[in-house]
Chain A
């Protein structure tokens, strides 16, 4: 069991304070790690249902606004559906995950979660030819 710190690192050079998530297992597949993060995000959202969802991926039927996504009608977000979206985004280079000092590319790869492991999410941009 350990406390994993999630850091959403972006590119301004600053890092967020990060937030902790208790994880009972010592080893976990990356897929499961992402699912835990999304579940936690959605649970926090659903508990308060603010107007803007701030999370890893954009929920369906929302509008992009400053610092998040506005829901067209106030509702609860489905954590399963949101997890699916997140996994799809990962596969499509929507974000990348660093665990400690290493980037993980395979969803099925198992991660050793020592105490205080830092998991970093790095956002990427969808690209097309111009």
Chain B
């Protein structure tokens, strides 16, 4: 700052001396030192320069122009000359300001998303406007975007107020399209509508906003406004029509929304909610929410504000379609803020109807015109359209007047019933989306501990035209008796029909005899039922003796290396709360899943991995990888744990004299909750582990994950597992246990006396037949018995583990280790 002070003094000296040539030099020198930051220090100088008499300003302008041409300097210096010229511009003739160069400078700016407000490029714009000319639309856009993001930049805000045309920023498909329909004159009601939409900067529309909107709708006609706005919204999220140049460290701006237009989008969403309800409205708003939450590199969700406006709008529409859309979004949206809004909206509806939140979600599932479970019949003239649900997809079928099946849409329908056909097709799309949302909702019911009264359950599940297609493929218990749906009836394992009952629950394999689990799998196969998600074949995770020994935590999924971003989205989908860890001095809670119905909170302890910026982090500084540690359970109200993002102990964050709360003993966790939580964690590891990435053969950065990588594999066998397989193929016939072993697919099957075991050739993990229970056996860390030496060419440890496991399990009656025995 000392140099700034002395620079200032030098400038003042030259002003006093009236030496305009030296003044130009000193000003440029000072400008070169400011690295583009024309901060508050400069306001004094700006004022001094502006106050120079006309003649001196003229001489200064000449001097600057001379330097501009003679210096032949870098673009930044040229820009600084233009800025200084902008300051002294007042009542000097236009040709002093290098108008062509200034225009070029401004035009170049139009290719950017925004710029740093302190570079004072507004001075160029002001100078340009002072000539009576307009700025190009793309230039207007960049100034508007910058003004929205800039902090304490009144000069920009003032400038942007003068930039009233075009009404929206150019460059986005929907906005370009909307502006084509608007004349731009102030008496055009469409123009007024867009201007009004742009004022949607609050989180909710005010009564005043609504009233004005109503008036504008009145002048055009509700129907026309609805149709037109829907056609605009349909274009939201399309690739930009004017691609922007991405600067260093800038996020993927071309996939984000223009922040100026985003305000208009919010207004348009609000606008739709005060129009008469229509299925298309709910659909469009739902799509807007999802499109706005799509993630963009370096930015996160595209525009949560617009997404939230969509939710607010939906919650204001009193229609079945809107409620259904809210319920559907509630199962899909993972962005916390928006999810909360959805929750509030559904809760409000539930309260209004005197129902529970769960019930409102059940009742919100529309039938979409289906008249019986999974089927609908529509008469279009003399043609019959059939919609049938197969799996999680709807399928169209057509019958002509003679009742004969025809493959494609009959011409008469296309000609005479175009609108109905369009609506049917849209409904079919809604069905597909709703089916997958409902399958996800049902999958979450295991942990929701739901019970239903039999009659309500029949109506909302088994006999519901849409949900029934899923519910009829699941297993339930009626008054404790397991049943499935086959041949038009609920039936027990022995196919005896069950027609009445009082209390219904969703069946879960935990706590069931393996024989029963297997029997149900056979039953499903016999009745050719494909379940919408794993239920009879669901993996079961029981407490192991090692976990009984560690008491309050499980190490089963510790010491893995996970891809953070993949983990983060998976966790969100499975109802976990997690914070992306940045490589900065900050702390974060572990990944948490709250189980309010059980009064529990499950925690998966994680920490960021590595410290090399750019190598271990993304451009924006979030860790690429996480290391994993224990899984723990706490009472749901226990104070939050947190740890430093780059590792170290987790500790409890105690406020207002709170007492610390100990983790709960794993033995006290209900088996179903434990199993489902560990299943989630296994999924995270199974999917997000870097061990799955074949490009990591070199061990990743610095090779430091080599051992982890090679020791790990899930899913399809990678090359090293294939090698293992070839080796086993050769080795097994020579072993004493050869007659008990078979290699099948990805597994080595070992027949023991108690069970048959499947050892995964990639990871060495064991599943027990018949019910695919996970058998946890791990290498002993500090063996007490004499150890075999490391042979000089130590090879693949996983193969040694697989062989050792096979040897042990082939004689499972001889196992004495109680921690293993208890799992068999």
If A89-B788, A94-B785 touch, whether A123 touches B822 (CB-CB below 8 Å) is no
Chain B residue with the shortest CB-CB distance to A105: B736
Give the docked Cα–Cα distance between A113 and B783 (Å). 34
If A11-B724, A127-B808 touch, whether A56 touches B789 (CB-CB below 8 Å) is yes
Q: Mark A4-36, 1 if CB is under 8 A from B, else 0.
A: 000010111110100000000000000000000
Contact yes or no, A123 B800, CB < 8 A: yes
Contact of B788 among A12, A95, A105 (CB under 8 A): A95
Task: Report B-chain residues with C-beta under 8 Å of the C-beta of A55.
Answer: 789
B525 contacts partner chain A, Cβ-Cβ < 8 Å: no
A68 contacts partner chain B, Cβ-Cβ < 8 Å: yes
Contact yes or no, B776 A130, CB < 8 A: yes
Contact of A88 among B723, B785, B789 (CB under 8 A): B785
Chain A residue with the shortest CB-CB distance to B819: A129
Contact yes or no, B788 A56, CB < 8 A: yes
For A, the interface residue count at a CB cutoff of 8 angstroms equals: 43
Contact yes or no, A125 B804, CB < 8 A: yes
A124 contacts partner chain B, Cβ-Cβ < 8 Å: yes
Give the docked Cα–Cα distance between A69 and B823 (Å). 35
A98 contacts partner chain B, Cβ-Cβ < 8 Å: yes
Residues of B in contact with A, size category = 35 or more
B702 contacts partner chain A, Cβ-Cβ < 8 Å: no
A46 contacts partner chain B, Cβ-Cβ < 8 Å: no
Task: Report A-chain residues with C-beta under 8 Å of the C-beta of B803.
Answer: 11, 122, 124
Contact yes or no, B779 A16, CB < 8 A: no
Contact of B734 among A68, A98, A121 (CB under 8 A): A98
A92 contacts partner chain B, Cβ-Cβ < 8 Å: yes
Give the docked Cα–Cα distance between A126 and B819 (Å). 14
Contact of A129 among B776, B785, B800, B804 (CB under 8 A): B776
Give the docked Cα–Cα distance between A64 and B797 (Å). 16
If A11-B800, A126-B785 touch, whether A68 touches B790 (CB-CB below 8 Å) is yes
Contact yes or no, B556 A130, CB < 8 A: yes
| Interface hits, A88-109 → B, CB 8 Å | 88-89, 92-96, 98, 101-105
Task: Report A-chain residues with C-beta under 8 Å of the C-beta of B154.
Answer: none
Which interface residue of A68, A121, A122 has the most chain B CB atoms within 10 A? A122
Task: Report A-chain residues with C-beta under 8 Å of the C-beta of B796.
Answer: 10-13
Chain B residue with the shortest CB-CB distance to A102: B734
Give the docked Cα–Cα distance between A128 and B822 (Å). 12
Task: Report B-chain residues with C-beta under 8 Å of the C-beta of A119.
Answer: none
Chain B residue with the shortest CB-CB distance to A104: B736
Contact yes or no, A129 B544, CB < 8 A: yes
Contact yes or no, A10 B800, CB < 8 A: yes
Number of cross-chain contacts by CB at 8 Å: 153
A86 contacts partner chain B, Cβ-Cβ < 8 Å: yes
Contact yes or no, B804 A64, CB < 8 A: no
Give the docked Cα–Cα distance between A78 and B15 (Å). 97
If A85-B786, A94-B786 touch, whether A130 touches B792 (CB-CB below 8 Å) is no
Q: Mark B706-736, 1 if CB is under 8 A from A, else 0.
A: 0000000000000000011011000101111
Task: Report B-chain residues with C-beta under 8 Å of the C-beta of A13.
Answer: 723, 726-727, 795-796
B807 contacts partner chain A, Cβ-Cβ < 8 Å: yes
B546 contacts partner chain A, Cβ-Cβ < 8 Å: yes
Q: Mark A33-59, 1 if CB is under 8 A from B, else 0.
A: 000000000000000000001111110
**Distance to closest chain B CB from A125 (angstroms):** 4
Give the docked Cα–Cα distance between A58 and B818 (Å). 26
Chain B residue with the shortest CB-CB distance to A55: B789
Task: Report B-chain residues with C-beta under 8 Å of the C-beta of A93.
Answer: 804, 807-808
Contact yes or no, A126 B780, CB < 8 A: yes
**Distance to closest chain A CB from B629 (angstroms):** 15
B456 contacts partner chain A, Cβ-Cβ < 8 Å: no
B91 contacts partner chain A, Cβ-Cβ < 8 Å: no
Task: Report B-chain residues with C-beta under 8 Å of the C-beta of A92.
Answer: 785-786
If A98-B734, A130-B776 touch, whether A16 touches B786 (CB-CB below 8 Å) is no
Chain B residue with the shortest CB-CB distance to A54: B792
A73 contacts partner chain B, Cβ-Cβ < 8 Å: no
Which interface residue of B778, B779, B786 has the most chain A CB atoms within 10 A? B786
Contact yes or no, A130 B793, CB < 8 A: no
Q: Mark B788-824, 1 if CB is under 8 A from A, else 0.
A: 1111111111111101110110000000011111110
B777 contacts partner chain A, Cβ-Cβ < 8 Å: yes
Give the docked Cα–Cα distance between A103 and B740 (Å). 14
- Knowing that A11-B799, A14-B795, A66-B790 touch, tell me 14 more A-B residue pairs with CB under 8 angstroms: A11-B803, A12-B794, A12-B795, A14-B793, A68-B790, A86-B786, A96-B807, A101-B733, A103-B734, A123-B789, A125-B801, A126-B804, A127-B801, A129-B822
Interface residues, chain B, with chain A CB atoms under 8 Å away: 544-546, 555-556, 723-724, 726-727, 731, 733-736, 776-780, 783, 785-801, 803-805, 807-808, 817-823
> 5 tightest CB-CB pairs across the interface, nearest first?
A129-B819, A12-B795, A11-B799, A130-B778, A11-B795
Interface residues, chain A, with chain B CB atoms under 8 Å away: 8, 10-14, 16, 53-58, 64, 66-69, 85-86, 88-89, 92-96, 98, 101-105, 121-130
- Sample (6) of A-B pairs whose CB atoms are under 8 Å apart: A13-B726, A16-B793, A54-B791, A98-B734, A129-B821, A130-B546
